[in-house]
Amino acid sequence: MIIEEKVRQSVQLLKEFNIDCWITFVRETALNGDPTLPFLASADLTWHSAVIISKTGSKIAIVGQFDKKSVEDLGVYDEVIGYVESIKKPMLDHLRKLNPAKIAVNFSQDSEIADGLTHGMFLTLTGYLAEIGMQERMVSAEPIISALRQRKSATELTLIKKAVDLAEEIFRAVRTFIKPGRTEAEIAAFMRARVQEQGLKFAWDPTVCPAVFTGPDTAGAHYNPTERVVEEGHVLNIDFGVKFEEYCSDLQRTFYILRKDETKEPADVRKGFDTILTSIEDSRKALKIGARGIDVDRVCRDVLIANGYKEFPHALGHQVGRFAHDGTALLGPGWEKYGRKPHVPIEENMVFTLEPRLLVPGKGTVTIEEMVVVTPTGATYLSDRQTELILIRG
């Protein structure tokens, strides 16, 4: 059970980072959910709720009376306290007993996955802690949450690999459907139907999953499939992933639509594709425990520049887990919007995408997105690597 694994792991992380306790403080999570909550509870929580985990090993949940039974049934907490009128008294009573010197709270300026505490709840929590003189003891829970999400368990890796395999099956199926005259929207509908037939979920918003782009002058990413028609001479790329038992895959594949007089792709498309292959493989080799994402990203960009292409306007790769974009460490440049993410050291069992792109003028965008896991000996592909351009005949 992943919740049991993660709650147990969090105790070890508190010891590692020398933080006395960690509070996840939430309310009405169906509306305002904390990204960390699925590691701590199996269902949404309604009234003000607090999960308090201590480095001494104590694990307490304080929840509304009607949520108590579902949390108890998890069997992972030493005590589940239900309340009716206010969470404040049982919460502060427990904190007085713990008397922690450092209280980790879910806020972060750099990492969205560690920033689940709303401003209103932060003010409430600060007010509570002020009553017992502990308001100055709060620190960011980013180190704990980042490690909890990034250091994938064997169970999590198995689920991610299954999500990868299922997405690749649908990519294989769509090859026979793509042809000149089809629209981006029709191709996406074909893939969505396969997701629904298999009872899967989409890895992100289904209005843009899959994202399908054919030919030049497209939005390029993060846009819904349109009525644009596939034509001979187009480069076509698809960005797609599925969610299996709440864990995601995120892959991209590139196709070329042959003209009637062509038996293979033209030289400019071949050069672009080969450059992308080299950039992915070189960056994979650079992705090792202890490396920094900014350096891995630079390896990839240097390959593109050496071959006469512009740098891509995004990070080389992001982590994948319960979300398609997950984790704190990032394979990206030192741009202001990424904060400290590209400088976070790489750790074992992090799962990343590698997704450079380049433009072939007049034909479209060449891009491949693979998924890899960091191991003691380097990064290993989780996906069945695309090593050949997929050629589509009319």
Token reading at 137:
């003891």
Q: What is the amino acid identity at position 277?
A: L
- Pick the closest to residue 53 from 89, 86, 24 (CA basis): 24
Q: How far is CA 6 from CA 33, 63, 286, 299, in A?
A: 18, 19, 29, 34
φ, ψ of residue 103 to 5 degrees: the values are -120, 110
Q: For residue 147, what pLDDT is reported? A: 97
Portions of the chain given CATH number 3.90.230.10: 151-392
Determine the Cα–Cα distance for residues 177 and 56; give it in Å rounded to an integer.
57
Contacts of 183 (CB under 8 A, 6+ apart): 225, 226, 227, 228, 229, 230
Place of tokens 């319960």: 322
Low-confidence ranges of the chain (pLDDT < 70): none
Q: For residue 220, what pLDDT is reported? A: 86
Token reading at 208:
């843009």
Q: For residue 371, what pLDDT is reported? A: 98
Give burial (CB, 10 Å; 0-12/13-18/19+) of 260.
exposed
Q: For residue 178, what pLDDT is reported? A: 98
Determine the Cα–Cα distance for residues 382 and 392; give it in Å rounded to an integer.
26
Q: For residue 219, what pLDDT is reported? A: 86
For domain 2-149, the CATH class is: alpha beta
Portions of the chain given CATH number 3.40.350.10: 2-149
Q: For residue 394, what pLDDT is reported? A: 77
- Pick the closest to residue 184 from 204, 222, 210, 205 (CA basis): 210
Contacts of 127 (CB under 8 A, 6+ apart): none
95 within 8 A of 87, measured Cβ to Cβ: no
Q: For residue 14, what pLDDT is reported? A: 98
CA angle 232, 238, 240 (to 5 degrees): 160
For domain 151-392, the CATH class is: alpha beta
Contacts of 306 (CB under 8 A, 6+ apart): none
* DSSP β-bridge partners for residue 24: 51
φ, ψ of residue 228 to 5 degrees: the values are -60, 135
Q: What is the amino acid identity at position 65?
A: Q
72 within 8 A of 80, measured Cβ to Cβ: yes
